[in-house]
Amino acid sequence: MPKVVHSKIRELESKARVIRRHIVEMTSRAASGHPGGSLSCADILTVLYFHKMRHDPKHPEWPDRDRFVLSKGHAAPALYAVLAESGYFPVAYLKTLRQIGSSLQGHPDMLSLPGIEMTTGSLGQGLSAAVGICLGGRIDKKKFRVYAVVGDGESQEGQIWEAAMSAGHHKVDNLTVILDHNKLQIDGKVEDIKGVQPIADKWRAFRWNVIENVNGHDVSALIGALDKAEKNSGSPSIIIAETVKGKGVSFMEWNNSFHGKAPSKEELERAIKELE
Ligand SMILES: Cc1ncc(C[n+]2csc(CCOP(=O)(O)OP(=O)(O)O)c2C)c(N)n1
Ligand SMILES: [Mg+2]
């Protein structure tokens, strides 16, 4: 894999800032949504959609495309922003987030918007779907990869571990999961509510290739980790991405009150200034 040039890294970093602006604008306009967990995975989704994944917004059903499943479906604003910026639909449509009749519902709906591979929002389910898509690809002798983003709070769901066990057992090596390890869930610290540590050891025990201590806001680190995962064969891979909930907006970082609350008009203005 050729080294990614400096200018490409800068380009991705500036794209991630655009994605963050969309997230705060969209949720503020809708006066609802989940900005914190969307901002924490903004760099991950940016690297996937604008660097790593093979996909074609003009042909969302292209059979050989890589697939993405947002298992932590409440981060839908981040997904809608990368889909719009990729060209799946006009950027102006982002304004309709959470409006009645819009395809941009609070959680992603695969039946209402091209580019969405799986309907998610009920935590724990997306990973099982991702494993199923991988197994389907194997049966069809397809070369595509499947990427899924899982939350750390979401990792308390039993279904995550059923999917993990299946993928490990079946050596599903066309799957890369990125754990958005922001240490917070809906109303507090993951470790206070129901601890998931030692998280890397758990995945290893389920026979996964674990790539840990990756800075989930460092574009080059993410690219390196995704490349490593792709080269691995014989087991599924998980990248433990160390992230900050609310990343990019000072008063939202590590602040759980923005898990499911939109910025006010005044907060939006401050956020946009910081993201320029
Ligand atoms: C099955 C299920 N239970 C509860 C919820 C409500 N809920 C939405 S987000 C969330 C917290 C998720 O925490 P985490 O996975 O860490 O997400 P992040 O910190 O990345 O926002 C909860 C409990 C849900 N969507 N699905
Ligand atoms: Mg979390």
3-state secondary structure 145-206: CEEEEEECCHHHCHHHHHHHHHHHHCCCCCEEEEEEECCEECCEEHHHHHCCCCHHHHHHHC
Task: Say if residue 1's pLDDT is above 80.
Answer: no
Ligand lying closest to the C-alpha of residue 158: 1
Residue 38 Cβ contacting ligand 1 at under 6 Å: no
The C-alpha atoms of residue 206 and residue 161 are separated, in whole angstroms, by 8
Q: What's the confidence (pLDDT) of residue 3? A: 75
CA of 44 to the centre of ligand 2 (A): 14
Map out the domains of the chain with their CATH numbers: 6-274 (3.40.50.970)
Residue 184 Cβ contacting ligand 1 at under 6 Å: yes
Q: Summarize pLDDT for 211-239 with one digit per residue, the tens.
A: 999 999 999 999 999 999 999 999 999 99
Task: Say if residue 58's pLDDT is above 70.
Answer: yes
Task: Say if residue 68's pLDDT is above 90.
Answer: yes
> Confidence band (pLDDT; 50, 70, 90) for 53?
very high
Residue 112 Cβ contacting ligand 1 at under 6 Å: no
Q: What's the confidence (pLDDT) of residue 10? A: 97
Q: What's the confidence (pLDDT) of residue 269? A: 98
Percent with pLDDT over 70 in the chain: 99
Strand ranges for 182-265 from DSSP E: 184-185, 188-189, 209-215, 237-242
Average pLDDT, integer, range 33-40? 98
Residue 37 Cβ contacting ligand 1 at under 6 Å: yes
| Atom 18 of ligand 1, residue of closest alpha carbon | 37
Q: Judge contact between 34 and 77, C-beta under 8 A.
A: yes
Tokens matching residue 241: 């991405």
User: Distance between terminal CA atoms of the chain?
Assistant: 32
Instruction: Kindly report whether the global pTM for this prediction surpasses the value 0.95.
Output: yes
Q: Starting at the earlier edge strand, list the strands of the sheet with 209-215.
A: 67-70, 146-151, 175-181, 237-242, 209-215
Average pLDDT, integer, range 115-144? 98
Q: What's the confidence (pLDDT) of residue 44? A: 99
Residue 150 CA: nearest ligand 1 atom is 15
Ligand 1, residues 74, 240, 245, 254: which to mutate, most atoms within 8 A of Cβ? 74
Q: Summarize pLDDT for 163-190 with one digit per residue, the tens.
A: 999 999 999 999 999 999 999 999 999 9
> Confidence band (pLDDT; 50, 70, 90) for 2?
low
